[in-house]
Amino acid sequence: MKVKKIFVAGHKGMVGSALTRILKSKKNNIVITADKTKLNLLKQSDVERFFKNNIIDQVYLAAARVGGIYANNTYPAKFIYENLMIQCNVIHSAYLSKIKKLLFLGSSCVYPKKNKGPIKENHLLSGKLEPTNEPYAIAKISGIKMCESYNRQFGQKYGLDYRSIMPTNLFGPGDNYHPENSHVVPALIHRFHNAKINSLPSVIIWGSGKPKREFLYVDDLARASIHIMNLKKKIYNDLTTSMCSHINIGSGEDISILELVKIIKKIVGYKGKVKFDRSKPDGTYRKLLSSKILKKTGFKIKSNFKNDLEKTYKAFLNI
């Protein structure tokens, strides 16, 4: 079996670390990584030099500036600038280095705020975005369109095959547990754990608790990413179009924030009260992805939500 040299951009993040671990478990893979001291993805010259100095067969673009509602609202310039720069530098440098295979990891926030039923891939650009994370979403949409544009212009001539996937809300080991800048699952784990060890009488949760969210364990996303990257080109092209080439990656089920709060509270073992601060934004009411195309590729989700939350909390305790 041919040895593949694979570069994982963002290997220290939650997604990148899961990808790196699973890719390394295969004997025919040589995984290439570089931390910020060796490679600044925000600098075009550094990225171009890195790609020229390394023989690479595949690129997984998992590097990104990420965060929850608070972080997106507080640092919109940082979110749009850094994500655009990372994507432009990595995708263009891959092209310059004649790397044919690249997988861009986006986010479900690319879809319009108002959606009826599960969100399909062709809903992209069909309506207004959620204002709280619009800069981040626009950057991610640009990444999708970069992959499509490079395929359209250079695909036939140079054999480029740049693909995109749109994951739902992720959680798992290696997540960011910052009390203000993290996503909902790690934020709740941190908040309830802090309340537990400090014997706080109550925990305040942003919003009403009514919105629903779909969640996916990070190892499932990593497996899906590798599956999509190595899917035969004819199968991928038959399931997508040249200007709607991304594939949703979701669990197919969603849960209210209220129910999520109850589950995490129980896992952590917090005995106090929960109060919802309705003055804070809820964000999009529902963000359930349609994963019909993913299912057609033959991929199956293996996770158990509650078990994976327990594993995530155990990983948090070991930080």
Query: Which residues form the catalytic set?
Result: 136
**Coil, strand or helix at 16:** helix
Phi, then psi, of 221 in degrees rounded to 5? -65, -45
Positive/negative CA dihedral, 80, 152, 227, 19: negative
Q: Which residues contact 255 (CB under 8 A, 6 or more apart)?
A: 212, 213, 214, 215, 305
Helix (H) or strand (E) holding 32: strand 29-32
Q: How far apart are CA 282 and CA 278, in angstroms?
A: 8
Which structure tokens are listed for 143?
């990444």
Q: Which residues contact 55 (CB under 8 A, 6 or more apart)?
A: 5
Q: How far apart are CA 121 and CA 134, in angstroms?
A: 18
Identify any residues that bridge with 6 across adjacent strands, giving them in sequence order.
31, 58
Residue ranges of E strands in 185-253: 202-206, 212-217, 246-249
Phi, then psi, of 279 in degrees rounded to 5? -80, -15
Asked if 264 contacts 185 with a C-beta cutoff of 8 angstroms, the reply is: yes
